Each structure stands twice: as structure tokens, then as C-alpha cells.
A and B are shown apart, each in its own frame.
Chain A
């Protein structure tokens, strides 16, 4: 048994899992605020990463400036999406809302392939050293940055929901839209804000993954990987999303280790989260931290 490799993989899993956690968090944000299951979450990553890459390579902007412009763009994009596409669908059955986000997802995926091509494009180098060694493990500098960013994002989310006026408004809306509206909370603005924040936060994850692996359409897979994470954590729990993301990240890497060392099936790590998903749905469909719906007639 190769302990060092296993530990290295678990570490990688935690780092990737933190990114899953960030994406899952922004997915939960939309679900909590506007009851929309966003199948186009992966495309937020994709679009954010491509826009940032385009700004950095075409206009030679410094990294931080490029990232800020990307944030501004993603905020406008999230707002526009909510106002133009999702707002007319308020009150429609759940299948319509799911399908509209699925439709958006394939539209933007194809659009990105059309505009930017199908090949993975590397980011211009951002750090002078690409790897640092820490306690004997090799870690990419970008991963360290991503871990920092993820932690900062999670802390910011915690603060936002607990102390800020808008965060409280969002929680109130999630709890009961009608009551929130009667208390003077602009529910429509809350929806729009949730989408804008979610788009920005996802784009951070997209940029980080883009720096590590290059920007390609594979980024939108993160939008699918998010489902095992949020189902594990409970659909409406931000904390659950983070924990679910970490667990799925570690699980994937452990599966890769088991596969590589013992089973030799190949590709096991890609499919394992989905088996986990089915098992969770069968035994605990509301996840670890989700609220259980109680239906009354």
C-alpha cells in the first residue's frame, strides 16, 4: 500500500473538493433563494473562465484586473439571465424550470465551443513557481491560491447570510416568499441578486480550474459533479454543500487510487460520484443537512 500516494491524492481531493464546495455553494444559493435547480451552473464556470482567458490573452490585462472585469461581466450576465429567461417562468411547474436551465446549458456550451474552439487553452502563467512543496507533498501554487480563495468565499458566504441586510433578506425569501414580500423585501431583486452572486462565485472556481487544467468545455462537467455534492449535503444547506463538495472530491481521488492500485477498471473516479448519488437518494434523500419537506393537505 502506497501511503504517500494515497495521502497526496486525499490532499488533492480536499483541494478539488473545496472547489466543488464553492460551486455547490453557489448552486445552493440559487436554489435557496429562487427555488430553481440550475443545470447551467457548469456553464457559469465555463463562461467565466473563457472571458477571463480572453481578457488576459487578447488585451494582456494583468491577472487581477482581468479577474475584476470578469466578475463585472458575470454579474451582468447572471442578472440578465434571471431577468430575461427565469423571470417569465416564475410559477411554472418544476419540469419547465429544470428544462429551461438545461436548454441554457447546451446553448452556452455550444456557443463557447463556437467562439473559443474545442481545444483546451492554457492560461498565461500567473505565479513564478508552479509548485511548492509542503510537508513533503507537491502542491501546485494555484491550488494553494484556490484553497485560500475557497476558504475566503465560504467565510464571505457565512458572513453574508448571517449579518448583511441582503443576506438576511435572501434567507427570509427562501423561507417563505409571500411573507417576505409582505414584509417589504423586494423578492424579485433578491432573485436577481442570487443569480448575480452565484455567477460571480462560480466564475472564480472556473478561473482557478482554468489556470490548473487549461480552459476547455470540460469545465462544464463541474456543473454535473455538483449534484452528488449538493444531494449529499442537502439541497438547501450552504454548509452541507461545502461538506458534500469536500467528500465528493476526496471520494473521487480515493476511487482513483483504488482503481489504479487494485482494480484497474479505468475511469472509475468519474462514475463513482453517481453511484454515491443513487445510494444517498435511496437512503437519505434530503441529504445530511437538508430540510425535510413535510407535506400537508
Chain B
């Protein structure tokens, strides 16, 4: 979790504003604008398959960001994130079907509803920590999943529920190319929100709770308040992500939010780097692409002796699950600080090239 500073010697900051700035150099600011511009052009060049992958990275990224605030920044463990993600999806569909709230408003409202549920589960969680909390959230996962299957008024029960397409003033974002912009907008807004939160007083309090909660409490940080707040925040982002997921597929079914998805969320933030906001996005992209890569590999070796011996094609779903498990284990053993850390090292290497030591 250690975020090492890569500020070169001699670079002294004299104001707090300079120290907490998001973009330390003009170059990094331009890079972000350029990346956004390239992303805005993506629907024009990419085909449907790649667009759908990007959209997946988008809505999972929003939800994973919430989990990273909880796990990476506050040090609380949650194995029930998929349940909150699912709750957001159902809540948004329910709001727009039942009360005819436009989807544009239903998505943030679903985030608020999910926050409420997150707070309900967060209150007991505020007393727990470490593995007790992990087990409590595991229980939350199963309890919410059970609730989804039972509450027909809310989720449509086992049959699932229909979710309307996203639209603004009658303009429907119902194709992948259009919906991409919706997800991109939400992604940018949530990431800016999270980045700014972490620069604020509350964000620093969360990090203090993670690093040493006893010291934090002695310094006057209200532990219960910040732990619960962090749970609520994480649920909020999960709810938004889930709502985006629901309106993308335009159908929400009960089976999608199992513990495997919770584990995938945890995998995303671990692979990306705990306590790193940009790392969350990298980890999400990695986690979405790894199962796809298994599909590409099996396609590539189709018909070969290996394929015939192991019947890879028929077992693709198991291969995907195995790949998810394996990358989590390998990352934890060989790169516990995640992709964000590796990325910083690459940047430092090139900054100092050829005198890198």
C-alpha cells in the first residue's frame, strides 16, 4: 500500500496548493486531455466487441473505485461489493419502471439508495476490522443475494427485470457507440470526485484510519464516523456502477451478482494497486481483459492437438475463472503493490534514463 514519492531531489514545494495539486506538471495535464480526446473518438474507430469491453471497463471501474476507497484508502475489507453493485442495478431499474423516473435521474438516485443500504451494513461494520469485517461482508453478500431472489416487487425475482435505455430529452443512448459516452462521462466525474476527496480533510482522515487507527483516534478522528462514511461512499460508487451496468444490458437478472464478481472487484483493485486511483482503472482493464484473453488463446489454438487433448473450447468458462484466480495469486506474490506501482517505476526509469539507479 506504500505510495512512494517520486519527487526528484531539489523539487521543493512551498505551498500546500502545490503539494496537493493533481497535475504536478503541465505535461501530465495535457496527457490527460489528450487521452480523453482519444477516448471520445473511440466509438468512431472501434467495432462493437471492443466498445463493449471498454464500456465494461467503465462501469466496473466506477464500482471498483468505490471498493478501493474502502479497502485501499480506509483499510476496511469487503467481500460483498458485488451485492451492492447488484443493488444499484436493481434500484435504478426499479425507480425507472415503478415510479417512471427518467433514467438520467434514476442512476444517481440508485447510487443514493445503495448508499443507504451500504450504511445499514456499514454500521455494524464500523465496529469490526480485519478479517471479522471480511466475514461480516461475506454474510452481507449472501444475505443481499438471497434478498434479490426473494423480493419480487423489487427485482422481479428469479425472472429478472427490464431496465430502460438511458436517454436525455428523448435522445436514447441505446447503442454501444452512444452509451460509451454516458459511461465515459460517469467515469470521469467519479474519478475526479474521488481524486478530490482524497485531497480533502476527509480523505486524509480515511488514510489515517487505515495507517494506524489508534493514532488516528487519538488525533481526534471519529473512527466510527469515517469507517461508516467510507462504507457508504463505496456503496455509492458501487450503486452508480451497477446502475450503469443495468441500463447498458437493459436487463438485470439475479444470477449476475455472485461472490465471484465480488472477488473480481477485489482482484481489480489488488492488481491495480490498493490506494491508487488511476491504478483502479488499470486493474479493472486488466481484470476485464484477462478472461477475454483466455477466449483469444483458445481461439488461436483451436483444432490443434492441445485443444483436442484438453477440449479447451468447451471448458472456456472454467479457464476464465482459473485465470482470474491465478492472476490474483500471482500478483499478490510477485507484484503486491499492483500495476500502479509498476507504472510509477517505469516512469521513474525513463525520467532518469540513462542514469537510473
Residues in A lying within 8 Å of B, measured CB to CB: 37, 85, 88-89, 92-96, 98-100, 102-111, 113-114, 224, 227-228, 231, 235, 265, 267, 270-271, 274-275, 277-278, 281-282, 285, 295, 297
Contacts and interface: CB of A to CB of B under 8 A. Distances in A.
B135 A227 contact: yes
A88 B127 CA distance: 31
A88 B149 CA distance: 41
B131 A104 contact: no
B115 to A, nearest CB: 19
Contacts of A89: 332-333
Given A37-B131, A89-B333, A274-B142, A102 B263 contact: yes
Given A96-B332, A271-B146, A285-B127, A106 B321 contact: yes
Contact of A105 (B71, B131, B325, B333): B325
3 closest A-B pairs by CB: A107-B325, A103-B328, A110-B321
Interface stretch (B197-205, B232-240, B266-274): B266-274
A161 to B, nearest CB: 22
A98 B322 contact: no
B329 interface: yes
B325 A282 contact: no
B267 A103 contact: yes
Contacts of B256: none
A56 to B, nearest CB: 24
B222 to A, nearest CB: 18
A98 B267 CA distance: 12
Contact of A231 (B1, B135, B215, B274): B135
Contact of A99 (B128, B136, B260, B332): B332
B77 A281 contact: no
B336 interface: yes
A155 to B, nearest CB: 28
Contacts of B260: 106
A274 B324 CA distance: 26
Interface in B259-296: 260, 263, 266-267, 270, 274
